[in-house]
Structure 1
Amino acid sequence: MFKSSHNPIFFIVIFLVLDLGLRSSAFTNLNSLSFEESLSPLFGDGNLVRSPDDLSVRLLLDRYTGSGFISSNMYQHGFYSSMIKLPADYSAGVVVAFYTSNGDVFEKTHDELDIEFLGNIKGKPWRFQTNLYGNGSTHRGREERYRLWFDPSKEFHRYSILWTPHKIIFWVDDVPIREVIRSDAMGADYPAKPMALYATIWDASDWATSGGKYKANYKFAPFTAEFKSFSLDGCSVDPIQEVPTYCSDSVDFLESQDYSSINSHQRAAMRRFRQRFMYYSYCYDTVRYPEPLPECVIIPAEKDRFKETGRLKFGGTEARERRRNHRQQRPVIESDPDERKLL
């Protein structure tokens, strides 16, 4: 249609196409599975409530028990994703976890990838953490902790974990919040054995919210976390048997998907997220690890914001937002409209 590449309309169209390409969602073509197709109850009996159409499930915690589900299969590498809405109102001490593990099979040498929401006091920003273990390396935790830039109890958001032989990416909606590139120096600390997907809700009053300062209050029970739009991709295997050769095709498929790569726009969003909302990183915790663990990428400007304990220095981003919030007399989560959308 355009006879000349010098036509200004041509350049405008190309710019828009490229810009939309950078901003396109990593999750536009996900498979969406029913509970029966992909998941099984783990514990909690009546506290696990499936919807009539079997496309969503509610996990409840009351004073008697929590609840949880597990994927019906274990996967040798995979992509694990769900839309989740967290408990409303006061939920201090209540942990909602979305994670992969093989601890039921390899008790002393288990692998794990975690997203854990750490309870909340209404009006405060939600906090959560990611972590990973390989081959039972729980004494070398790789925690990072963050605040969310939205209220996850008001509507559903997508949380996802990608795990391949070469990288791990944690996603919140379309924002990659953490990327771990496997290095040879990690050795067996990099998860390598088949894992299942788990989701649980449970009482962690002794540590979850402000280090255990705020406990679960069952006056607000039952605490409810809702899950829907389940997506699982990967090579389904028997964890005891040798991994079949056809799993290499599954890895090729995973690594060809949009959720397996981070484009320039998403990488900028990840950088903004980590600058604004990460308040602890094991990579900067020199008390715990005098030498950073091998996968750590030390960014000098980022490192300057953290104390030797790996926590933000007083007067950092979090403290500035608290002061601004105090002046404006409204919740921190509403204090900066630009922070509600990173992409």
Structure 2
Amino acid sequence: MGKGQLRLFLFLFMFCSFLFLVLSSSVSPRNFPIIPFDEGYTPLFGDHNLIIHSDAKTVHLSLDESSGSGFASHDLYLHGYFSASIKLPSDYTAGVVVAFYLSNGDMYEKNHDEIDFEFLGHIRGKDWKVQTNIYGNGSTNIGREERYNLWFDPSEDFHQYSILWTDSKIIFYVDDVPIREIKRTKSMGGDFPSKAMTLYSTIWDASNWATNGGKYKVNYKYAPYVAEFSDFVLHGCAVDPIDHVTNCDSVQSSETVPSDVTQLERIKMENFRLKHMTYSYCYDKIRYKVPLPECVIDLREAERLRKFDPVTFGNGHHRRGKRHHIKEEAASF
């Protein structure tokens, strides 16, 4: 190799290394402080089914015939990055829902906001499913659900599930992979979550809808169903629940909370969606004859979903004798 070729090789090597570092910088829970449970959360219900480990870093939520359980953040938050490592119940978990979500339903009964991660139960031999959804200003009559297969068994080990919420977008992450990005558009109006919310985690019996539209119920022979939580991140602007005033500087917050995905993350997100997305409201021609205005149709996603379910994502016609239930289609897998 001549000197000129060597210099070119070194230049290309250094440039590619620099480019990789730039592209691979990503949102990660490791970039934010992990807090003990008691510092950020308090039990919500089912106290006898909520166990805080002695190290105060890991919590078990369980569901049995007597009750589910849950916890909630001490504070309300307006935007931020919220994350937890979760290990789901193992074995047969049909009808069991584990949720990690933001909501202000206790404060705004008729016009609440919500940002959801929901795990919809599991039947042996089937892929695990996770659902994401949002509501703004009480827009519960409009479902913006998406569902995905997971590329791992979430009951075997902990995996990180994260929500990035800014005034202009919402991004859902599984481990360090962004799986969904919702951009605020003028056409969405108040349907984009915009009021301060509490962070919740719950486990509960959703036999009437969670697994195949309620076909498979919770079987308490396998109880208790135990979900484990750790690596809690609450990185956002806390809001005074009475005065609704933030106690953090908005400029500083905007600098510390990421506001977008990197190019490498976007590639990962596109690949994830093409391989693992099984439902999206934007392509559901039965529920919405015309996609909602914020939907950006990806032809590759449309083609994959059409092949996956030609009734829902194709021409929207039903086979004779079949009925379509909007609630079940929105919530089941």
Structure 1 residue 50: Cα displacement: 0.4
- 1:322 aligns with none
Is this contact kept in 1: 2:238–2:248, CA < 8 A?
Answer: no
Corresponding position of 1:269: 268
Verify the 8 A CA contact 2:25 2:262 in the aligned structure 1.
Answer: no
Partner in structure 1 of residue 221 of structure 2:
219
The DSSP-based 3-state class of the residue aligned with 1:291 is coil
Judge conservation of contact 1:164–1:254 (CA < 8 Å) in 2. no
The one-letter code sitting in structure 2 at the alignment partner of 1:111 is: D
Distance 2:85 2:108 in 1: 29
Q: 1:209 aligns with which of 208, 211, 225?
A: 211
Aligned to 1:22: 23
* Correspondence for 2:57: 55
C-alpha deviations, 1:205-241, integer Å up to 9, x for none? 1111111111111111110100000001111112443
Letter in 1 for 2:39: E
- Name the residue aligned to 1:340: none
- Partners of 1:60 and 1:67 within 8 A in 2: yes
1:295 matched to 2:294: yes
- Letter of the 1:110 partner, please give it: H
Identity %: 55
Q: Distance in 1 between matches of 2:243 and 2:295?
A: 33
User: Given residue 273 of structure 2, which amino acid in structure 1 is its aligned partner?
Assistant: R
How far apart in 2 are the matches of 1:242 and 1:230? Answer: 24
Give the Cα–Cα distance (whole angstroms) in 1 for the partners of residues 185 and 245 of structure 2.
Answer: 22
Q: 2:294, 2:245 → 1: CA distance?
A: 26
Q: After superposition, where does 1:1-343 map in structure 2 within 5 Å? A: 6-27=7-28, 28-244=30-246, 247-249=249-251, 251-255=253-257, 257=258, 260-307=259-306, 312-313=309-310
The one-letter code of the counterpart of 1:12 is F
The answer to whether the Cα contact below 8 Å between 2:87 and 2:158 also exists between their aligned partners in 1 is yes
Q: Gaps (5+ residues) in structure 2?
A: 314-333
Task: State TM-score, norm by structure 2.
Answer: 0.87
Deviation at 1:23, TM superposition (A): 3.1
For residue 15 of structure 1, report the CA deviation from its aligned partner.
1.2
Q: 1:110 to 1:24 in 2, by over 3 A?
A: same
Q: Distance in 1 between matches of 2:206 and 2:229?
A: 20
Q: Please, what is the CA RMSD of the aligned residues? A: 2.2
CA distance in 2, matches of 1:245, 1:96: 31
Kindly provide the amino acid, as one letter, of the partner of residue 73 in structure 2. Answer: S
Whole-angstrom CA distance in 2 between matches of 1:222 and 1:295: 41
Q: Deviations over 1:35-60 (max 9, x none)?
A: 11100000011100001010110000
The residue that corresponds to 1:326 in the other structure is none
Within 2, Cα distance between the matches of 1:154 and 1:38? Answer: 26
Q: How many positions carry a matched residue from both structures?
A: 308
Structure 1 residue 261: deviation in Å?
A: 2.1
Contact 1:81 1:232 in 2 (8 A): yes
* Distance in 2, Cα, partners of 1:311 & 1:93: 23
Q: Which amino acid aligns with 1:201?
A: I
Residues 18/269 of structure 1: CA separation in 2 closer, same or farther (3 Å cut): same
Contact preservation (8 Å) 1:77, 1:251? no
Q: Which has the higher mean CA deviation after the structures are superposed, 16-25 or 191-200?
A: 16-25
What is the rounded CA distance, in whole Å, between the counterparts of 1:100 and 1:250 in structure 2?
22
Runs of 4+ aligned residues of structure 1 deviating over 4 Å after TM superposition are 244-247
Matched residue type, 2:68: G
Whole-Å Cα distance in 1 between the matches of residues 274 and 296 of structure 2? 14
Asked if the contact 1:76/1:247 (under 8 Å) is kept, the reply is no
Task: Spell out, residue by residue over 1:227-261, the C-alpha distance to the aligned partner (whole angstroms, 9 max, x if none).
Answer: 00000111111244344495523541354x3xx32
Q: Say if 1:234 and 1:251, in contact at 8 Å, map to a contact too.
A: yes
TM-score relative to the length of structure 1: 0.84
Residue 116 of structure 1 contacts residue 130 of structure 1 at CA under 8 Å; is this kept in 2? yes
Residue in 1 that maps onto 2:328: none
Amino acid at match of 1:86: L
Gaps of 5+ in 1: 317-343
CA distance in 2, matches of 1:291, 1:247: 41
